[in-house]
């Protein structure tokens, strides 16, 4: 994962995979056992590594995406925070998310009736099936509808008021994902949501992007019709700064309200998410409050 302002450089020739975040003068490295595969799809380059201590690693266009060891934090926060914030989510869409980890988490909610996942790049899902079978273990669930298309177009064509939650599990705001961080796309999302619906966007690093990407997501969501929005932070070892976030925006509700008792008595296993983590994730550091204009 990197940003439009910090193009990454990658070297794996000395036994280490390194993603350099030029704009931040920092880098992230993993010791590599071997490079497993490299494919060039119509949209991006996908590299797969076997690492010494993080298991398999997927890298898209030089940016770390998923590793076996730590992906649970991101996938659980991208899914369960929104699903326990909505009063009764039944119809869910995932835009991006081709590694299928978020899809697996959403399908753990017994009340969910169907989940449509729309990733632009089928090759990401084929690589995930091969190297992260555990993330794809729910792909055959009859409630799952896995499609390959441009998520921007799919949401634009969506029937009005047909969805409860839209999860934007995208790459960074460059290339095919640029339009997923835009007010026109958010407007289409709110049009596709029923009253009480929620959009959740992966919103990059609190340390690096509070004044820029995160602030703009809140402004753009408000312009697009959000009644309330809130950013949740969580650790994310393999992404720039090791600290990541998702931002919830509501159509008619409060983004900090959630079904506390249901979350505390959830009927499925998680590795990171629980009701206390959800409540704690609502708290924001002082510098973020200042960036986002929260008193
Ligand atoms: N967990 C990752 C992270 O934050 O680094 C993100 C997940 S990765 C699977 C994001 C996915 O978004 C990629 O598979 C990519 O193909 C997809 N994507 C990018 N632009 C898209 C678009 N316009 N429509 C649908 N999917 C898109």
Residue 186: the pLDDT is: 98
The residue whose CA has the least distance to atom 1 of ligand 1 is: 65
Angle between helices 71-85 and 275-282 (to 10 degrees): 80
Residue 173: the pLDDT is: 85
Residue 2: the pLDDT is: 41
The residue whose CA has the least distance to atom 15 of ligand 1 is: 96
Residue 73: the pLDDT is: 98
CA 268 to centroid of ligand 1, rounded, Å? 26
Percent of the chain with pLDDT over 70: 96
Residue 225 — φ and ψ, nearest 5°? 120, 10
Q: What is the ipTM of this complex?
A: 0.96
What are the tens digits of pLDDT across the range 61-106?
Answer: 999 999 999 999 999 999 999 999 999 999 999 999 999 999 999 9
**DSSP tally for the chain: helices H, then strands E:** 10, 13
Percent of the chain with pLDDT over 90: 91
Q: Both ends of the chain: CA-CA distance in Å?
A: 31
What are the tens digits of pLDDT across the range 105-116?
Answer: 999 999 999 999
Looking at the predicted structure, is the pLDDT value of residue 190 above 60?
Answer: yes
pLDDT category, 260, cuts 50, 70, 90?
A: very high
Nearest Cα to Cα of residue 139 among 92, 106, 104: 104
Looking at the predicted structure, is the pLDDT value of residue 295 above 80?
Answer: no
> Which DSSP helix (H) or strand (E) runs through 174?
none
Looking at the predicted structure, is the pLDDT value of residue 263 above 70?
Answer: yes
Counting from 1 in the atom list of ligand 1, the atom nearest the Cα of 202 is 4
What are the tens digits of pLDDT across the range 117-147?
Answer: 999 999 999 999 999 999 999 999 999 999 9
271: left (phi over 0), alpha (psi -120 to 50) or beta: alpha
Using an 8 Å Cβ cutoff, are 125 and 99 in contact? yes
120: left (phi over 0), alpha (psi -120 to 50) or beta: alpha
Looking at the predicted structure, is the pLDDT value of residue 269 above 90?
Answer: yes
Residue 12: the pLDDT is: 55
Which protein residues touch ligand 1 with a CB less than 6 Å away?
1, 65-66, 74, 95-99, 118-121, 124, 150-152, 169-171, 176-177, 180, 202
Cα angle, residue 81 at apex, residues 56 and 212 outer, rounded to 5°: 80
pTM: 0.95
Residue 13: the pLDDT is: 62
Active site residues: 169
Counting from 1 in the atom list of ligand 1, the atom nearest the Cα of 151 is 24
Residue 175: the pLDDT is: 86
Taking all residues of the chain, what is their mean pLDDT, rounded to a whole number? 94
Residue in this structure with the two tokens 């992966």, named with its chain if needed: 202
- Detail the residues annotated as belonging to a binding site: 44, 75, 99, 119, 150-151, 169-172, 176
């Amino acid at each position: 994962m990197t940003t439009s302002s910090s193009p990454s450089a990658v070297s794996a020739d000395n036994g280490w995979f390194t993603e350099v975040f030029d704009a931040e003068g920092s880098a992230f490295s993993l010791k590599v056992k071997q490079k497993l595969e490299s494919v060039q799809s119509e949209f991006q380059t996908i590299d797969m590594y076997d690492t010494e201590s993080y298991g398999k690693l997927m890298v898209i266009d030089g940016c770390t995406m998923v590793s076996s060891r730590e992906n649970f934090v991101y996938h659980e926060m991208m899914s369960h925070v929104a699903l326990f914030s909505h009063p009764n989510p039944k119809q869910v869409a995932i835009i991006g998310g081709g590694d299928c980890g978020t899809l697996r988490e959403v399908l753990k909610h017994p009340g969910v009736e169907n989940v449509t996942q729309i990733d632009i790049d089928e090759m990401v899902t084929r690589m995930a099936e091969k190297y992260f079978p555990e993330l794809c273990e729910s792909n055959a669930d009859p409630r799952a509808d896995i499609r390959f298309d441009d998520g921007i177009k799919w949401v634009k064509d969506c029937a009005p008021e047909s969805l409860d939650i839209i999860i934007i599990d995208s790459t960074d705001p460059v290339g095919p994902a640029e339009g997923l961080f835009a007010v026109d796309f958010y407007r289409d999302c709110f049009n596709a949501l029923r009253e009480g619906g929620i959009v959740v966007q992966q919103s990059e690093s609190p340390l690096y992007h509070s004044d820029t990407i995160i602030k703009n997501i809140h402004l753009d969501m408000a312009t697009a019709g959000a009644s309330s929005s809130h950013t949740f932070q969580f650790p994310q070892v393999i992404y720039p700064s090791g600290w990541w976030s998702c931002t919830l925006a509501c159509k008619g509700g409060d983004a900090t309200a959630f079904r506390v008792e249901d979350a505390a008595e959830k009927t499925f296993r998680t590795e990171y998410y629980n009701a206390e983590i959800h409540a704690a994730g609502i708290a924001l550091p002082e510098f973020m409050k200042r960036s986002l204009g929260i008193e």
